[in-house]
Amino acid sequence: MFERLDQIEKKYEELTKALSSPEVIGDSSKFQKTAKAHSEVAEIVEKYREYKDLKRGIEESKAMVAEETDADLRAYAQEELTRLEERMAATDADLKVLLIPKDPNDEKNVVLEIRAGTGGDEATLFAAEMFRMYTRYAETQRWKVEVLSTSESGVGGLKEVIAIIEGKGVFSKLKYESGVHRVQRVPATEQQGRVHTSAVTVAVLPEVEDVDIKIEAKDLRIDTFCSSGPGGQSVNTTYSAVRITHIPTNTVVSCQDEKSQIKNREKGMRVLRARLYEMEMDKQQQALAKERKAQVGTGDRSEKIRTYNFPQNRMTDHRIGLTLHQLSDVMDGKLGAVLDALSNHYQSEKLKSQAEVVA
C-alpha cells in the first residue's frame, strides 16, 4: 500500500509543477486536464502526509517514554503517544478507503426511469409517489430534475416516468436504487381493508456523453408523431413527438414532453446514450462475474431490493438488512440514512475484496 502511496505522491508533485509551467498554462484544455488529475489525488496525498507526520510523532513520543527520567514528563509523553496512535489508526483506515478504485460514473448525472410493475392501478400510484420521493431528495441536494417523458394512468398515477437528474455526485448517491421496490398497503380502492402487494421498478443509469458511447447515424431510425397529453393547441396537430430506434440493439426511446421536435430529439438521444452505455457495461460485468457479484444491486432489476410497508410505517432494504420505522419520512424524500448505509456497506465489501487480493 505504501509503495503505491509513494507513487501517487510523486505523481502529485509532478502535476503541481506542471500546473505552473507556461506550456500547460497556455493550453486551456491541457490545463483543465492537469488540474483535474491534480485534484483527484490531492486528498490522498494530504492524508498520506498526515499519516507520515503522525508516524514521526509516534516515534518521538516512544523515544521520550523510553528515555525520560521525569515521571510527569514520561506520563505526558505516554498520553501523547496514545492519542497519536489512535489518530494514526483512523488515518490508516481513511487511506484504505481513499485507495479503493473510484467508479468513473460517480460524478455523472443520471437518467432515472420508474415503471409500475405488478399491482395494476395501485402500482402506478406508488410509482408516482416514488418519483415524488426522489424529487424531494433531489431538492435537498440542490439537484435539477428534468422530466423527459411520462405516461399517466387513469387514476392519476404513473405507468412510467423518465427524468434526468443533474448535479454534483448524483450517480454516486443514487446508483444503488436500481431494482424492484415492493409496496405493501391497503389500496384506496380496497373495500375490505386488505393489504395488497405491488411493485415498481427503478433504473438509475449514468448519463453519458458522445465520447463515452459512439452512435452512428446510419444505425438510427427516427419517426415523428403527434403528441398526446398536456400541451394546448399543438397536441395532435403538430408532429413534435419523436421515437428513436437504435437498429442494432432494437432499443426504442420516445419523447414528447416538449413542443419542439428538435428538443424532443435531443432529450431522446440523452436517454438512448444512457441505455446503450448500460448495455455495454453489463457486457463487461458479465465477463467479470466475480466483480459483478461484488456490485450486487447495481444492475439486477429482478431482485426485490426494498419493501415499503405502510401499515407498520416500515421500510426494509433486503440487501443490507436495514429496517427503518420512519417510512413517512423516507417517502417525503429523507433518504440520507438509507443511501449512506448502502454506500458504507458496499464500500466495506470492496475493502474486504481488496484485502483478499492483497493477501
> How far apart, in whole angstroms, are the C-alpha atoms of residue 334 and residue 329?
6
E strands present in 173-303:
179-185, 196-206, 220-225, 241-246, 251-255
> How far apart, in whole angstroms, are the C-alpha atoms of residue 14 and residue 54?
24
Q: What angle do CA 39, 35, 205 make, to 5 degrees?
A: 65
Write the pLDDT tens digit of every residue in 125-182: 999 999 999 999 999 999 999 988 888 998 889 999 999 999 988 999 999 999 999 9
Could you report how far apart the first and last alpha carbons of the chain are, in Å? 12
**Residues forming a β-bridge with 264:** none
- Going by their DSSP bridges, the two strands 158-166 and 179-185 should be labelled as unpaired
Judging by beta carbons within 10 Å of its beta carbon (0-12, 13-18, 19+), is residue 356 exposed, middle or buried? exposed
pLDDT at 103: 78
Write the pLDDT tens digit of every residue in 38-50: 888 888 899 989 9
> How far apart, in whole angstroms, are the C-alpha atoms of residue 212 and residue 183?
36
Residue whose C-alpha cell reads 387514476 in the numeric block: 155
* Per-residue pLDDT of the chain in tens (359 residues, 90 and over written 9): 788 888 889 998 999 999 888 888 888 888 888 888 888 888 889 998 999 999 999 999 999 988 888 888 889 999 999 999 999 999 988 888 787 777 778 888 998 999 999 888 899 999 999 999 999 999 999 999 998 888 899 888 999 999 999 998 899 999 999 999 999 998 876 767 788 999 999 999 888 765 567 788 888 888 877 766 544 444 445 667 888 898 888 888 888 777 778 888 888 888 888 888 888 777 766 654 443 343 333 333 446 899 999 999 999 999 999 999 999 999 999 999 999 999 888 888 877 766 555 44
What type of residue sits at position 70? D
φ, ψ (nearest 5 deg) of residue 107? -90, 5
Q: Are 169 and 107 in contact (CB under 8 A)?
A: yes
pLDDT at 163: 92
Estimate the crossing angle of helix 28-67 against helix 71-98, to 10 degrees.
Answer: 150
E strands present in 89-236:
110-116, 144-152, 158-166, 179-185, 196-206, 220-225
pLDDT at 225: 77
> How far apart, in whole angstroms, are the C-alpha atoms of residue 225 and residue 101?
45
